[in-house]
Amino acid sequence: MATITVERKPLSFLERTYIPNVVAGLTTTFKRMIKPTETLQYPEQRPAIPTGYRGVPTLVNDPHGREKCVSCQLCEFVCPPKAIRITPGEIANDDPNAHVEKRPKAFEIDMLRCIYCGLCQEVCPEEAIFLQNQYSMTGYTRAEMVNDKDRLYELGGTLPDQHYKWDKKKSAAEAASHGGHH
Amino acid sequence: MFDFYFDLPLWFRLVLQGTIVILVLFPLAAACSMAERKISAWIQGRPGPNRTIPPFLAWIPGINIIRNLGLFQLAADGGKFTFKEDPVPGNVNKFYFILAPILAMIPALSTISFVPFGAYFKTLADGTRELTPIILANTDVGLLAVFAVSSLGVYALILAGWASNSKYPFLGGVRASAQLISYELSMTLSILPIFLWINAPGGEGTLSLFNVVQTQSQAGFLGGMWYIFLMPVSALVFLVALFAETNRQPFDMPESESDLVGGFHTEYGAFKWSLFFVAEYAHMIVGSGIFCLLFLGGWNPLPWVSLADLVNFGAGFLPIIAAPLVMGLLAITLFLLKVGFFIFFFMWVRWTLPRFRYDQVMNLGWKKLLPLSIANLIFYAVAIAVKDLYFPNL
């Protein structure tokens, strides 16, 4: 491989006194000093969260106020650090959501174990669990760091739904029982 | 109005004056640490410490200005340094280990007694007015005493390094002694031209800093000229040597945290550590003060405009300006402004230039600055001789 010899220019007298370079450096730092600071004053100012951000995993309701989770436990099985613990529960027959398969009796995510990988969101067939924008989880005890079902729904809120899968299933079943095409 | 003060016994007045000066200098030196943090923050694009506030003061409107300047943080730091546990490591030489920070403070606070920081018109018995310096000890040895006492400060560093009984402080102490001795030579040689210029041959000589300012406040082109214009090379050499003498970056060899952990104060903590730092900042304040007196006309507001001119001009509109108290405060303010600029300059340079390597420091001191200051001395000796011989009335 060819070697390129770079000619090093000898320093001029002024350069060897350091003075012009020191002055240039001082100018740079002074200009930097009078510029506005870059700091985000954190608790008062919050950073803009980019789309697709993976924050704390949460459970969501659909726009009709139905909890979307049917406690199929896929997220519990896929969770790499085993942070999710679900206790499935039946839905009473007189419940307006009785047509839905199941609901979780208890749903706990241990945020000391969670690694924010998002596999639970990816695996969920009901689009019930989402990693949303919440990025700050703090607590004084281990127990405080376990999000229970109420807390998960409080964090998750309501997200829009495109399918209303269970409502469609119900109306299809009703149509069939009334002697429809199916 | 203040006659009762001059009826007090002399020793009492001296103790009072000294205490007041120290009570101003000590917090000023401590405040420099906050100034350093703020300036470093601004240069790095950060706001710096701006959060601390005692909750019971938060209701006062406008107090956020003080809070944003970090002054409460300064008070919190001071309180912490005073009250936190002050351990002495097991293998140190206890007596010298504790003596070192005290020895650092003594020269740092005592040099200020030879530095005039203002002047006022004193009305003599015959009705004429005389410009009198505001100074603790107006001696003829002036600058010599400052150099003699401030160079004692290096003993504190050597002692701290040696008494710590640990390799990094030891290396820091060795570097401190080598560096301070090297740069003292060029520092002293660089200011000799000023005193050649001031002291006419055959006359009574003086090293008084007040006289240096007086010779920069005369009438005429040369009389009113600040010495930084007359002797720029002297000023440059003195400034560089000042950086080295006060252990400031780029010359902070004794500390140099990247290769020596913390240098001479590695083993120190809490109050003793803070004493070293207040001493360093006090050295900076006194050093900047001496630079301003020697090269920047002391308390004179502008080159060719002396304090006396300003006060005589101002007294035409507002006679109170010529009152000793007002004029003294004006002079001290002007002087402190210049000193404050230099403190800022010290910090500005710190965040601009990287630290020199040890051999570079030695090269610069012995091979560049020392020959330069000697050549400078010879040049001005010849020039002043020529002027005195051929142009005595210039």
Asked if A38 is an interface residue toward chain B (Cβ–Cβ < 8 A), one would say: yes
Q: What is the mean pLDDT of chain B?
A: 83
Give the 3-state secondary structure of residue B310.
helix
- Computed over its alpha carbons, how large is the radius of gyration of chain B? 23
pLDDT tops 70 at residue B285: yes
Asked if A35 is an interface residue toward chain B (Cβ–Cβ < 8 A), one would say: yes
User: What pLDDT score does B57 carry?
Assistant: 80
Could you say which of A25, A34, A37 has the minimum Cβ distance to residue B352? A25
In a domain, B34, yes or no: no
Asked if A37 is an interface residue toward chain B (Cβ–Cβ < 8 A), one would say: yes
In a domain, B42, yes or no: no
Cβ pair B311, B326 in contact under 8 A? no
Longest dimension (CA), chain B: 72
Per the document, the length of chain A is 182
User: What pLDDT score does B305 carry?
Assistant: 77
pTM for the model? 0.80
How many angstroms separate the CA atoms of B288 and B379, rounded?
26
Find the mean pLDDT for residues B286-297: 88
**Residues spanned by the domain of A126:** 57-169
Which of A61-75, B63-77, B116-130, B273-287 comes out lowest in average pLDDT?
B116-130
Q: Structurally, how many domains does chain A consist of?
A: 1
In a domain, B37, yes or no: no
In a domain, A71, yes or no: yes
Kindly write down the DSSP assignment for every residue of A112-136, as one continuous string. TT-----HHHHH-TTS-EEE-S---
How sure is the predictor about B298, in pLDDT bands with cuts at 50, 70 and 90?
Answer: confident
How many angstroms separate the CA atoms of B176 and B247, rounded?
8
Q: Structurally, how many domains does chain B consist of?
A: 1
How sure is the predictor about B202, in pLDDT bands with cuts at 50, 70 and 90?
Answer: low
Please tell me which residue of chain B has the smallest CA distance to A35.
Answer: B45
Chain B residues in contact with A35 by the CB 8 A cut-off are 45
Query: What's the distance, CA B204 to chain centroid?
Result: 28
User: What pLDDT score does A63 carry?
Assistant: 87
In a domain, B214, yes or no: yes
In a domain, B81, yes or no: no
Give the pair of three-digit tokens for residue B144. Answer: 């010599």
Contacts of B269 (CB under 8 A, 6+ apart): B84, B86, B87
Dump strand ranges (E) for B81-124: 118-123
User: What pLDDT score does A74 carry?
Assistant: 92
In a domain, A33, yes or no: no
In a domain, B67, yes or no: no
Tens of pLDDT, residue by residue over B173-191, are: 888 888 888 888 888 888 8
Nearest residue to B243 (alpha-carbon basis) of B350, B136, B316: B350
Asked if A8 is an interface residue toward chain B (Cβ–Cβ < 8 A), one would say: no
In a domain, B25, yes or no: no
Could you say which of B39, B46, B348 has the minimum Cβ distance to residue A39? B46
Listed as ranges, residues in chain A with pLDDT below 70 are 179-182
**Residues spanned by the domain of B99:** 88-390
How sure is the predictor about B1, in pLDDT bands with cuts at 50, 70 and 90?
Answer: low
How sure is the predictor about B203, in pLDDT bands with cuts at 50, 70 and 90?
Answer: low
- Which amino acid is present at A83? A
Asked if A28 is an interface residue toward chain B (Cβ–Cβ < 8 A), one would say: yes
In a domain, B33, yes or no: no
Per the CB < 8 Å rule, is B39 touching A33? yes
User: What pLDDT score does A140 carry?
Assistant: 93
In a domain, A27, yes or no: no
**Does B121 or B353 have the greater pLDDT score?**
B353
Could you say which of B45, B352, B353 has the minimum Cβ distance to residue A35? B45
Tens of pLDDT, residue by residue over B135-146, are: 777 777 878 888
In a domain, A3, yes or no: no
Find the mean pLDDT for residues B84-91: 84
In a domain, A48, yes or no: no
- Closest-CA distance, B94 to chain A, in angstroms, reads 43
Chain B residues in contact with A25 by the CB 8 A cut-off are 352-353
Tell me which DSSP letter residue A66 carries: -
Could you say which of B39, B47, B352 has the minimum Cβ distance to residue A39? B47
Residue A115's CATH number: 3.30.70.3270
Tens of pLDDT, residue by residue over B237-260, are: 999 988 888 888 788 776 777 777
